Amino acid sequence: MFRSLRLSLRFLLPLALAMLVMAYVTVPIIDSLTLRWFMRDLDIRASTIGRALEEPLLDAVETQAWRRVDPQLERVANDERLLALGVCNVAGDLVRKTRLMPTGLDCRSADRLDESGSMVRLPRGPVHITAIPLRRGDVHGATLLLVHDLSFVERRSQDTRRYVIILFTVLGMLLALISLLVAHMSWRGWVAGVRAMLQGEGVIRPFSQPRPELQPLVGDLRSLLRDIERERRSTDPGMAINWNPEMLRRLLHEQLRGDEILLVSNREPYIHVKSERGIEVQRPASGLVTAVEPVMRACSGTWIAHGSGSADREVVDSRGCLRVPPGEQSYTLRRIWLTEPEERGYYYGFANEGLWPLCHIAHVRPVFRDEDWRQYRRVNERFADAVAQEAKTDDPVVLIQDYHFALLPRMVRERLPRATIITFWHIPWPNPESFGICPWRSEILEGLLGSTILGFHTRYHGRNFLEAVDRFLEARIEHESSTVSFGGRLTRVEAFPISIAWPDGQKGKSIEVCRTEMRTRLGVRPGHLVGLGVDRLDYTKGIVERLLAVERLFELHPEWIGRFTFVQIAAPSRSSLDEYQRFEAQVRATAAQINARFGKDGYEPIRMLIEHHGSTSVTEHYRAADVCVVTSLHDGMNLVAKEYVAARDDERGVLVLSQFAGAARELHEALIVNPYHIEEVAEAMHRALSMPAEEQRERMVSLRQLVREFNVYRWAGRMLMEAARLRQRERISARIGETRGVT
Ligand code: G6P
């Protein structure tokens, strides 16, 4: 408010001053103009009077008989502006004058004047004198002097000056106010637009072009963003590297000196299940697993996770270990067995009914139970024991994943004080008010502050975490270095946006084959357009909103009915929880209702595929779909968006992406939407379906470049480089400490 007042004054004052100066410059010009007009008026008046009095005055001068002429002269002089009259004979003597003739004025003053008269300044004020020669035929007989009072001209000029100054000042203020208002409005628009662009929301707006006033700047702003990124890279060594598995391995050997890696997550990367065909291996639908697995392949080490598959126990050794991936065997998977009460309390209860809804703004109330908390703590302890058992050295690098293990960093620290603990929180972190709902908020914060590095997808979530620490703990926060000092230890809190492993050339089916096969499965013509959603069946993913948007699309643009099908892959998830069962029923009902309304003769506008899909099948769907729609109501990152981009080596297809997914901060060329605004999503789908091939290509090329470069090896590499730096520092300070102890 004060800033805008200051800004207004800074703008208003100079303008008002400029107007004042203009008024002062203008007034003398107006003055001299009006004076000239008055003089001319007076001259015309004087010569009229002269002509009227010419005859009687010449007679009187000749005969010296003034008796009849004097009263006449006084009568004429009895005028508001005419001060006096005088008559001079040919010898130049003032032979007659009216009563108010100013002293000091005589015929010699008249001689000095020409016929047009002039202004003379007398002690009583300025007067204008006109000398009118009186002639009989060609003979000059006398001169009539007319003295006009000019003080009224001065009075009028002063009035004019005052009015002009007031007029200009008011005009100036008005102009300033109007310009200020216009400037303020367009400045706000600009700032909002530019800010949105910088945040990746506004360059390409949901279903419209960039704001018209920003249109000419889009190119420049994009290259500005690139420059900023380049600048950032030059200051962060991890940014400048072209990250790939080989690079990551080199980093481990050279900078971490081959230090061992232990990774902990709840979800395991490979699940062994019993089926009619014997034991099968499944890959879970988990963004975390998708991202982290390629990193583990590159780094080797041991992955500790909950063994949840029905055949998991049958394929492990006595310690619960096996080498994975099947056939490749590049790292060890250590499975932890949980009892039914442990799984219920820790996984379903505290993690998924408590922390999950607490951290996602999806309008589902978190539930906190004492028993769940007890189990959560207990299971975290059990995993901490497993880490300590698996560690071959006393300073391993431990990578702890997600909200299932908020207490683990501290517990590992207690068992392995020299370990480098990198914790990554894969979901959003709420603001302090929301986080404060959790009855065990301090314990959770303290647990996480056992980490050396604590990572979030976005800076915003990192800031929320720091604010929560500030609110609920006695800790020292250094915003400059983004560190928290608590209990004598330092934790670095940083944003590391997660990603996927960029595929090295597509090994699977061609785009054409994928397209044809999908359309055959759907029973539609080759030119039929297809939209795709790929999610776990979770209430945070905005699946119902997405289906409603398809319905709205048909209402707003009926030309798509019969020409467009939306395929929704939904992997069943956490299905023993009531909330998830209710959600599944709602999704099914919505799809059925839309199909009943718009489907006919075998045409089903929405195709729900509620079952587990392997990664090959998902990739084929990506390659076959014209549009991929991600409408999460809240999401840490969302890797479906990045996977779709990676699958489109034909540089075609359009991504519609929720502004509430972390991915929207990076994927600026997607059509960014607010999933709560159904019409907006519907219009974005329409725009995507009608988008010319050239525009699709332009966007896709740019998206692909970004995902290729900012891949998951970069994510892991940057965290590990930071870990290496901190380890180095700790080793040096430990040595200094030892030396000090000796001396
Ligand atoms: C999210 C979480 C992961 C989790 C995944 C699947 O992506 O961040 O930690 O693995 O959902 O959920 P689930 O409960 O099946 O492991």
Which atom of ligand 1 has the smallest separation from the CA of 265?
9
Phi, psi of 578, rounded to the nearest 5 degrees:
-55, -45
CA gap 323, 332 in Å, rounded: 5
Per-residue pLDDT at 213 exceeds 80: no
Share of the chain above pLDDT 70, in %: 87
* Smallest CA separation from ligand 1 atom 14, residue: 574
Q: Which two tokens stand for residue 488?
A: 């004598």
Which atom of ligand 1 has the smallest separation from the CA of 287?
7
CA gap 476, 483 in Å, rounded: 8
The crossing angle, in degrees rounded to 10, of helices 712-742 and 245-254 is 0
Lowest model confidence (mean pLDDT) among 87-101, 185-199, 268-282: 185-199
* Smallest CA separation from ligand 1 atom 5, residue: 286
CA of 287 from ligand 1 middle (Å) equals: 7
Parallel, antiparallel or unpaired: strands 331-336 and 302-306: parallel
The confidence score (pLDDT) of residue 2 equals 47
286 Cβ inside 6 Å of ligand 1? yes
**What angle (nearest 5°) sits at the alpha carbon of residue 361, between those of residues 700 and 349?**
115
The 3 state secondary structure assigned to 113-126 is CCCCCEEEEECCEE
CA of 634 from ligand 1 middle (Å) equals: 14
The confidence score (pLDDT) of residue 103 equals 81
Per-residue pLDDT at 363 exceeds 80: yes
The confidence score (pLDDT) of residue 206 equals 44
Q: Identify which has the larger pLDDT, 99 or 542.
A: 542
Assign 546 a pLDDT band (cuts: 50, 70, 90). very high
634 Cβ inside 6 Å of ligand 1? no
573 Cβ inside 6 Å of ligand 1? yes
* Smallest CA separation from ligand 1 atom 10, residue: 286
Asked if residue 405 lies in contact with residue 355, where contact means CB atoms within 8 angstroms, the answer is no
Ligand 1 pocket: which of 267, 303, 639 to mutate (most atoms within 8 A of CB): 267
Distances (CA, A) of 15 to 22, 178, 537: 11, 12, 62
The confidence score (pLDDT) of residue 439 equals 98
Q: Identify which has the larger pLDDT, 258 or 598.
A: 598
Spatial CB neighbours of 650, under 8 Å, sequence gap ≥ 6: 511, 623
The confidence score (pLDDT) of residue 202 equals 40
CA of 530 from ligand 1 middle (Å) equals: 27
CA of 286 from ligand 1 middle (Å) equals: 5
**What angle (nearest 5°) sits at the alpha carbon of residue 138, between those of residues 137 and 139?**
95
What would the pLDDT profile of 652-669 be if each residue is shown by its tens digit?
999 999 999 999 999 999
DSSP 514-578: HHHHHHHHHT--TT-EEEEEEEES-TTS-HHHHHHHHHHHHHH-GGGTTTEEEEEEEE--STTSH
Residue of 350, 337, 344, 286 whose CA lies nearest to 310: 337
402 Cβ inside 6 Å of ligand 1? yes
Spatial CB neighbours of 694, under 8 Å, sequence gap ≥ 6: none
Per-residue pLDDT at 200 exceeds 50: no
Asked if residue 292 lies in contact with residue 265, where contact means CB atoms within 8 angstroms, the answer is yes
* Smallest CA separation from ligand 1 atom 11, residue: 286
CA gap 408, 393 in Å, rounded: 18
624 Cβ inside 6 Å of ligand 1? no
148 Cβ inside 6 Å of ligand 1? no
Residue of 437, 357, 436, 373 whose CA lies nearest to 406: 373
* Smallest CA separation from ligand 1 atom 4, residue: 286
CA gap 249, 11 in Å, rounded: 59
Assign 51 a pLDDT band (cuts: 50, 70, 90). confident
287 Cβ inside 6 Å of ligand 1? yes
CA of 269 from ligand 1 middle (Å) equals: 11
The confidence score (pLDDT) of residue 125 equals 79
Which atom of ligand 1 has the smallest separation from the CA of 573?
15
Per-residue pLDDT at 7 exceeds 60: no
Identify any residues that bridge with 608 across adjacent strands, giving them in sequence order. 568
Share of the chain above pLDDT 90, in %: 62
What would the pLDDT profile of 453-465 be if each residue is shown by its tens digit?
999 999 999 999 9
Which atom of ligand 1 has the smallest separation from the CA of 289?
10
Average pLDDT over residues 88-97: 86
Average pLDDT over residues 413-436: 97
* Smallest CA separation from ligand 1 atom 16, residue: 267
426 Cβ inside 6 Å of ligand 1? yes
CA gap 570, 585 in Å, rounded: 13
Which atom of ligand 1 has the smallest separation from the CA of 536?
6
CA-based torsion, 577, 583, 587, 590: positive or negative? positive
574 Cβ inside 6 Å of ligand 1? yes
Q: Which two tokens stand for residue 45?
A: 């008046």
Which atom of ligand 1 has the smallest separation from the CA of 404?
9
CA of 444 from ligand 1 middle (Å) equals: 19
What would the pLDDT profile of 556-598 be if each residue is shown by its tens digit?
999 999 999 999 999 999 999 999 999 999 999 999 999 999 9
288 Cβ inside 6 Å of ligand 1? yes
How many Å separate Cα 40 from the centre of its chain? Answer: 68
Residue of 436, 494, 420, 426 whose CA lies nearest to 469: 436
CA of 160 from ligand 1 middle (Å) equals: 81
The confidence score (pLDDT) of residue 170 equals 79
Q: Which two tokens stand for residue 44?
A: 């015309």
CA of 545 from ligand 1 middle (Å) equals: 21
Per-residue pLDDT at 192 exceeds 70: no
What would the pLDDT profile of 502-533 be if each residue is shown by its tens digit?
998 767 999 999 999 999 999 999 999 999 99
Q: Identify which has the larger pLDDT, 437 or 6.
A: 437
The confidence score (pLDDT) of residue 205 equals 45
CA of 576 from ligand 1 middle (Å) equals: 15
Question: Which helix (H) or strand (E) segment is 428 a member of?
Answer: none
Average pLDDT of the chain is 88
Ligand 1 pocket: which of 286, 338, 535, 579 to mutate (most atoms within 8 A of CB): 286
CA of 678 from ligand 1 middle (Å) equals: 27
638 Cβ inside 6 Å of ligand 1? no
CA of 290 from ligand 1 middle (Å) equals: 10
Per-residue pLDDT at 168 exceeds 90: no
